[in-house]
Structure 1
Amino acid sequence: MPCIHRKDLGLLALRFGAGGVLIAHGTQKLFGWFGGGGIEGTARAMEHMGFTPGRPSALAAGLGEAGGGALLALGLASPVAGAAAAGAMAGAVAVHAPAGFFATSGGYEYPAYLGFTAAALGLAGPGRYSLDHLTRHRLDRPLTVLLAFALGAAGAASVVRKRQAAISPEPESDEDVGAYHGA
């Protein structure tokens, strides 16, 4: 009789839960499933939120969520999956941050939780009940972890910084400031 490992079973449950939620959100963006806007509706929403151009931003967000979620659920290329999903959630956190922390007031609590969960799974590894384990962790090596999270963090920071620049008011010229203040 095979031995059941509780930690590995817990990782499997966490991967299925977080991965399933990410897949659902990503397929809303990509295909319009579950009441989502599909790629065109999401592209318009992304433009409105300051992510330009909208269509590639929608595609990246949808693939980060659905693709990262699917890989997490399967336990395949876990570092890449965790980094991709966490990066997508960093963009969502940036959108919700002005409303504060709690989701009840439109805050970033929920996307932050999903992002941290995805990152933790990518860092911890998928456990014994995974495709990474079956492939002898060929896509789950220390160098893969380092590269995936370094590239994911750099990409997310770049996207968030570009969005912030797009939504920030234009700096006033000295002439405008002087005219406004009656100089």
Structure 2
Amino acid sequence: MDIGLLALRLLIAAVLFAHATQKAFGWFSGPGLAKAETQFTMLGQEPAAVKVRLAISCELSAAVLLVLGLATPLGATIATATMLVAGYSLITLNKSFWAAAGGGEYPIVLAALAGVIAFTGPGAYAVDEVIGILPSTPFAGGGLAGLIVVVTASVAAAPVILSTRRSRAKQPTSSS
């Protein structure tokens, strides 16, 4: 089980790192900062320059925390909240949940996977376990930890989602 949790943490961290560096530097076929700001404007993420940098910071910090298994509930919360916002933004822009139609299916799955880590804890191969920061308690993994992370992530994502909703409502709709 511990190897599986390590693999899950590493996978999510790698994807978050790639997403952040796509936006920040254009790595991994990404848009780079200027084009990412344009994309965020289309997504209703205003002010785009601030929201892009916030997304980059959140994705990088969550990636580092998850890869190390350090302050794992915090890393899981940041990842979950960030991916909820990304998923919601894509769903409202493209009016579809499914990734095949440009929807937010993929970031929602990433949010759920990060939440799973909160329910299970980081496993034995984590700094939290090695140095005893989060000893095996209900807060280090289990129903209570998972619930706290999911609720906290939802509360953290809510203002950005509401802001996105307001921005999208102000954008002119294109008619065919």
Aligned-partner residue type, residue 120 of structure 1: V
What is aligned with 1:158?
159
Corresponding residue number in structure 1 for 2:39: 45
- For residues 103 and 52 of structure 1, what CA distance do their matches in structure 2 show? 23
State the TM-score, normalized to the length of structure 1. 0.78
2:28 corresponds to? 34
Separation in 2, partners of 1:77, 1:111: 22
Match of 1:8 among 2, 22, 40: 2
1:17 deviation in Å?
Answer: 1.2
Q: Whole-Å Cα distance in 2 between the matches of residues 43 and 167 of structure 1?
A: 15
Q: Counterpart in 1 of 2:126? A: 130
Q: Is the 8 A contact 2:80 2:115 kept in 1?
A: yes
Against the structure 1 CA distance between its residues 111 and 140, is the aligned structure 2 distance closer, same or farther, given a 3 Å change threshold? farther
C-alpha separation in 2, matches of 1:82 and 1:57 = 20
Change (3 A) 1:56 1:135: farther
TM-score, structure 2 length as denominator? 0.81
Is 1:91 matched up with 2:92?
no
Structure 1 or 2, whichever has the larger Rg, is 1
Task: Give the AA of the match of 1:63.
Answer: S
Are 2:106 and 1:105 aligned? no
Distance 2:21 2:170 in 1: 33
Q: Which amino acid aligns with 1:166?
A: S
- Count matched residues: 164
Q: Secondary structure at the match of 2:28?
A: helix
Q: CA deviation at 1:148?
A: 5.6
Q: Distance in 1 between the 2:49 and 2:149 partners?
A: 24
**Alpha-carbon distance in 2 for matches of 1:40, 1:138:** 40
Deviation at residue 147 of structure 1 after TM alignment: 6.7
Q: Percent identity?
A: 32
Q: How much is the aligned-residue C-alpha RMSD, in angstroms?
A: 2.5
Query: How far is the alpha carbon of 1:139 from its aligned partner?
Result: 9.4
User: What is aligned with 2:69?
Assistant: 75
